[in-house]
Amino acid sequence: MHEKGFTLMEMIVVLVIIGLLISGGIGFYNGFIENSKVIKAKSQISVMQGAVDSWYAEHGLYPTNLDDQMLAGLDTEAKDPWGKEYLIVVTSEGGTDNCYVIRTGYEQIHQNKVVAGRGKNGRSEEPSLVDAT
């Protein structure tokens, strides 16, 4: 007597294979979402850099925060793609406020990295992933 159908062991093997495929797909999807957030943050920082460079061209120094009216027309309430506020740090070289960094507030991107855009003397560098320190 041969009955047609699957054995319990065959069903378990199929379910394990399906589970492995799904878990791999979820990992790939999460990586894709994280990369899209990094791209969005780079784009937002580039827009902010344009406004900050314009401010520098008019005033000869960088703003100390993103709340100044120098960013008029720019959505300064914008959060990074992880829901944190963007940070701007202005530093001095030679006694003038001629360097800045705009970065994401979230520090857990790709193993303690942040998306940051830097500028010096009115010229910005393209935003990139950098160490959070």
Band the pLDDT of 36: cuts 50, 70, 90. very high
Amino acid letter, 100: Y
Taking only the tens place, the pLDDT of each residue in 48-85 is 888 888 888 888 888 777 665 555 555 656 688 888 88
pTM over 0.85: no
Q: Hey, where are the domains in the chain?
A: 8-131
Q: C-alpha angle 75/100/126, rounded to 5°?
A: 75
Band the pLDDT of 12: cuts 50, 70, 90. very high
* Cβ proximity of 71 and 48 under 8 Å: yes
Nearest by Cα to 45 from 93, 109, 113, 114: 114
* Cβ proximity of 37 and 82 under 8 Å: yes
> Fold for domain 8-131?
Glycoprotein, Type 4 Pilin (3.30.700)
Band the pLDDT of 28: cuts 50, 70, 90. confident
State residue 14's pLDDT score: 93
